[in-house]
């Protein structure tokens, strides 16, 4: 499976479309011997109600500068939320289905990613 | 060689950006028709390019990422490809005009028809890209290009009437010129000052020279010396045209008319110096735009690039530039007027500018790239003001070009 | 802005472009020719003062000749209804063409005071034609 | 504050670091141990998962970086011609940052046939092709 297939795929819950996959959040664990960076695994998906190219990133990181542009991009991606992997019912070619009781979390990357 | 001329990259970028064949003629046309009433646009443009190049240079120095890598990374493949197509076409147009510009300048020195010089010029540009080190290239072209300071000398020798010039500065469109033409040339001058290839070249040059966060002071110096110098010289060109060609009622269309005031002011010696300077400036611009075609494609598709590597280490980068030079020569062989090509390319670069400026403004605030070297508040305010200016110019460029028939 | 009105705006722009050039063809072609001849005159004057190099002056003469040729071509292509005006413009343009042709062939290094006077006199004739056409 | 801040953060203790793929990985330059560009990260290959997902299925893991002349497919849609894909195992990754740094030199990594064809057939044949510009 390719991560690219998930990006911008429609997200459905109870047969109704609730948005699109704005991004796929990965968890990079501490690396094991024989590698320098841990093998990332899918932590969850960031769902945005609109099909915007919202990866400019303002809506999820602490960056708020330059002020007006950041406000615009945050407004454009308003209503985005994070759904954790266990809450996903199906990941297929034509989209992602959420479980009926899927919990919606804040999409903010609270800690600055130490990239 | 590198330390000899620490601001060589800034000077060369500015000369290629402000004093290429298109700017020489556009500034003279503006001077001969509007005098200095459009000088404020050059000042606004200089501040804009200083801001833009300073951010792009800082990102390249601290994170090692040149501009077009960021365009794709921040805008995504779709918008990135649209920007690539626009920027590549503009680079190719400008490259064609610059090779023609070199030939026109050599024609002034030799009166051998310029079409005979075109293949020679293209071959010389390729050889410098293929063999000559980046430092040597920027130092030599930058130094010889400085001969264009002769325009400032000519301007003062012509004895400018400062009261008349300041009147022009304050007066909007002079009599006999329609506002649409006035604003067309305002957008053209703004686009000429903020051409995207300047930033592609400057940021990639920072990577070529191996700048790191210790070189930020040098990057700022390059920007604050190079671009204002370029702006001042374009004002001098407009001034010379205003003092000599405007009273004669001459409408400038050729390079030979642009340098007439220099002969008037300083005679043969200054004329020869200026012609040599024009050869160097158009040669610098040709190098800058040819390299930009290579930089943009390589950085978008992730090919190996850079003059600090042997050509064999960056095959697709070099093949792109060779093909572009050949296309340029072929287009020039059809007898198209190089000056008209630049007037068109300057307008289109104004249209494509927001697509390159926005990612740089965003990434210049991203701690992942710059750590603590992100934009200070003041720079962000200026950055956003210029983003609005750039958007307005981008939207207005094409309608103005149509309405005025490219500034007739 | 509903799509309809947007297309209307674009069409308006293109329509305006049609009559972008305010003056008619006769005046604009004679004006272009005048610019070219004035520059040639200045270059020859500077050449006689040894303040312009020979190759440079030659290029100016060639460029001016090309410009006048282009102006003549533009006049022929223009749909100028008024026969008398076109004829008036064509005469003076042809005049400019012959003078510049002779000087360019003679070569910048052969320029004399007489050639400069011919050019100055030619500029006068072009100015007269322009004044007439503008009346 | 905007509505989505009304949501709280998941009460999960994270061992490691959270990274948004599209924001911080995709379309970034991939460079070898000497900093030489190898390509742009066009995609990440993940382990397959059943569909539908039984509760408790472990999340897919990234198996390799994918790059190659497929950016056009990503833009205009359509299947990827598998033959053109260049895959680099995740274990080759040395550091995630403004660029994705690999631990191996480019010579040991899959390279585009176009680059090597042009180098051997054209560039090397032109005098000075191997000479580093001074």
Cβ within 8 Å of residue B181, ≥6 positions away: B33, B173, B404, B407, B408
| Sites in chain A below the pLDDT cut of 70 | 53-57, 59-60, 110-115
Domain-located, residue A104? no
What pLDDT, on the 0 to 100 scale, is given for residue B108? 93
Confirm whether B145 is domain-assigned.
yes
> Average pLDDT over chain B, rounded to whole?
90
Bridge partners of A11, per DSSP, are A19, A96
Condensed to tens digits (0 to 9), the pLDDT of residues B64-99 reads 999 999 988 888 888 888 899 999 999 999 999 999
Q: The domain containing residue C57 runs over which residues?
A: 23-134
Q: What is the pLDDT of residue C22?
A: 43
Is the residue at C62 inside a domain?
yes
**H-helix segments, chain A:** 3-6, 67-76
- Mean pLDDT of all residues belonging to chain C: 84
Which pLDDT tens digit goes with each residue over B100-147? 999 999 999 998 999 999 999 999 999 999 999 998 998 899 889 999
Q: Note whether A69 contacts B374, CB cutoff 8 Å.
A: no
Tally of domains within chain C: 1
CATH assignment at residue B82: 1.20.1740.10
* Inter-residue contact B288 to B8 (CB < 8 Å): no
Whole-model pTM: value is 0.90
- The predicted pLDDT at position D11 comes to 81
* Probe site for chain A from B367, B372, B390 (most A CB atoms < 10 A): B367
Give B380 to chain A, closest Cα distance, Å: 5
Residue ranges making up the domain that contains A58: 3-98
Domains identified in chain A, total number: 1
Q: Which of B268-282, D54-68, D73-87 has the highest mean pLDDT?
A: B268-282
Chain A residues inside the 8 Å CB shell of B381: 66
Q: Which fold has domain D19-125?
A: SH3 type barrels. (2.30.30)
Listed in sequence order, the residues at least 6 apart from B29 whose beta carbon sits closer than 8 Å to its beta carbon are B185, B241, B251, B252, B253, B407
Question: Residue A58 maps to which CATH number?
Answer: 2.30.30
Degrees to nearest 5, angle at CA C61 with C55 and C66: 125
Question: Is A105 within a domain?
Answer: no
Over residues B314-335, the pLDDT tens digits come to 999 999 999 999 999 999 999 9
Q: Nearest 5 degrees, angle CA B294-CA B145-CA C45?
A: 125
Q: Which candidate from B107, B250, B272 shows the least CB-CB separation from C53?
A: B272
Interface test with D, best of A12, A34, A40, A110 (most D CBs within 10 A): A40
D84 close to A (CB below 8 A): no
Q: Say whether B213 sits in a helix, a strand or coil.
A: helix
Closest-CA residue in chain B for D39? B302
- Strands of the sheet with D37-40, listed across from one edge: D37-40, D29-31, D100-102, D93-96
Examine residue A20 and state whether it is found in any structural domain, yes or no. Answer: yes
Structure-model confidence comparison of residues B77 and B243, the more confident one:
B243
Which of D25, D56, D93 is facing A36, going by the closest CB pair? D93
Q: Which residues contact B269 (CB under 8 A, 6 or more apart)?
A: none
CA distances from A43 to A21, C42, D94, D97 (A): 13, 77, 21, 20
The pLDDT of residue B207 is above 90:
yes
Least confident of B157-166, B330-339, C122-131: B157-166
A66 found inside a domain: yes
Contact A66 B75 (CB under 8 A): no
The yes-or-no verdict on residue C79 having pLDDT over 70 is yes
Domains in chain B, number: 1
Residue B128: its pLDDT value, please?
Answer: 95
Chains A–B, number of C-beta pairs less than 8 Å apart: 34
Q: Do A56 and B362 touch (CB under 8 A)?
A: yes
Q: Alpha carbon of B231 to those of B1, B16, B161, B219: distances in Å?
A: 26, 12, 20, 18
Q: How far is D59 from chain B (nearest CA, A)?
A: 26
Q: What is the pLDDT of residue B275?
A: 95
């Amino acid at each position: 499976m390719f991560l690219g297939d998930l990006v911008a795929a429609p997200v459905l819950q109870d047969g109704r479309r609730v948005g699109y996959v704005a991004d796929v959040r990965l968890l990079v664990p501490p690396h094991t011997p024989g590698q320098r960076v841990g093998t990332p695994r899918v932590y969850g998906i960031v769902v945005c109600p609109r099909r915007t190219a919202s990866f400019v990133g303002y809506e999820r990181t602490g960056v708020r500068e330059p002020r007006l542009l950041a406000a615009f991009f945050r407004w454009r991606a308003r209503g985005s939320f994070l759904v954790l992997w266990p809450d996903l019912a199906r990941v297929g070619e034509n989209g992602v289905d959420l479980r009926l009781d899927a919990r919606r979390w804040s999409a903010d990357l609270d800690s600055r990613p130490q990239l | 060689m590198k330390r000899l001329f620490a601001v060589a990259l800034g000077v060369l970028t500015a000369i290629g950006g402000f004093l290429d064949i298109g700017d020489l003629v556009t500034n003279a046309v503006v001077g001969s028709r509007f005098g200095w009433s459009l000088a404020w646009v050059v000042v606004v443009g200089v501040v804009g390019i200083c801001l833009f190049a300073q951010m792009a240079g800082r990102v390249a120095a601290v994170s090692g990422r040149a501009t077009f890598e960021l365009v794709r990374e921040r805008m995504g493949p779709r918008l990135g490809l649209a920007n690539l197509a626009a920027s590549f076409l503009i680079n190719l147009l400008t490259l064609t005009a610059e090779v023609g510009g070199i030939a026109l300048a050599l024609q002034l020195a030799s009166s051998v028809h310029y079409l005979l010089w075109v293949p020679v010029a293209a071959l010389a540009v390729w050889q410098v890209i293929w063999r000559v080190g980046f430092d040597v290239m920027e130092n030599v072209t930058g130094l010889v290009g400085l001969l264009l300071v002769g325009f400032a000398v000519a301007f003062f020798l012509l004895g400018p009437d400062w009261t008349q010039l300041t009147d022009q500065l304050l007066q909007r469109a002079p009599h006999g010129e329609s506002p649409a033409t006035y604003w067309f040339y305002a957008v053209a001058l703004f686009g000429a000052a903020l051409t995207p290839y300047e930033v592609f070249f400057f940021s990639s040059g920072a990577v070529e020279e191996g700048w790191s966060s210790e070189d930020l002071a040098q990057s700022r110096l390059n920007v604050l010396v190079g671009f204002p110098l370029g702006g001042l010289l374009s004002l001098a060109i407009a001034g010379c045209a205003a003092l000599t060609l405007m009273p004669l009622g001459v409408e400038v269309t050729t390079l030979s008319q642009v340098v007439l005031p220099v002969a008037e002011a300083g005679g043969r010696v200054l004329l020869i110096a200026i012609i040599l300077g024009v050869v160097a400036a158009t040669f610098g611009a040709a190098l800058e735009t040819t390299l930009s075609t290579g930089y943009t494609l390589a950085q978008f598709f992730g090919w190996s690039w850079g003059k600090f590597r042997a050509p064999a280490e960056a095959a697709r980068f070099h093949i792109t530039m060779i093909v572009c030079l050949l296309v340029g020569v072929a287009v020039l062989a059809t007898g198209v007027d190089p000056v008209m090509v630049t007037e068109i390319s300057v307008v289109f670069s104004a249209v494509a500018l927001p697509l390159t400026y926005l990612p740089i403004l965003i990434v210049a605030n991203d701690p992942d790239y710059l750590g603590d070297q992100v934009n200070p508040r003041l720079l962000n305010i200026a950055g956003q003001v210029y983003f609005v200016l750039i958007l307005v110019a981008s939207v207005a460029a094409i309608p103005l070009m149509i309405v005025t028939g490219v500034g007739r | 802005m509903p799509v309809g009105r947007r297309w209307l705006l674009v069409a308006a722009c293109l329509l305006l472009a049609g009559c972008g050039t305010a003056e008619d063809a006769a005046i604009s072609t004679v004006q272009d020719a005048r610019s070219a001849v004035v520059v040639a005159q200045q270059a020859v004057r500077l050449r006689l003062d040894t303040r312009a190099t020979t190759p440079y002056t030659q290029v100016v003469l060639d460029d001016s000749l090309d410009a006048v040729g282009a102006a003549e071509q533009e006049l022929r292509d223009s749909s100028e209804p008024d026969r008398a005006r076109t004829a008036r413009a064509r005469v003076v343009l042809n005049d400019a063409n012959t003078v510049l042709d002779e000087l360019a062939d003679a070569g910048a290094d052969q320029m004399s005071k007489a050639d400069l006077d011919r050019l100055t006199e030619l500029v006068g004739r072009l100015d007269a034609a322009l004044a007439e056409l503008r009346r | 504050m905007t509505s989505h801040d009304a949501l709280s953060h998941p009460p999960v203790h994270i061992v490691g670091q959270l990274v948004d793929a599209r924001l911080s990985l995709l379309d970034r330059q991939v460079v070898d141990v000497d900093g030489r560009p190898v390509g742009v990260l066009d995609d990440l290959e993940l382990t397959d998962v059943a569909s539908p997902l039984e509760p408790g299925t472990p999340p897919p893991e990234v198996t390799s970086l994918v790059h190659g002349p497929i950016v056009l497919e990503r833009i205009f849609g359509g299947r990827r011609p598998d033959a053109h894909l260049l895959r680099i195992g995740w274990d080759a990754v040395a550091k995630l940052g403004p660029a994705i740094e690999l631990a191996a030199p480019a010579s040991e990594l899959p390279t585009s046939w176009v680059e090597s064809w042009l180098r051997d057939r054209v560039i090397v044949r032109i005098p000075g092709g191997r000479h580093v510009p001074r």
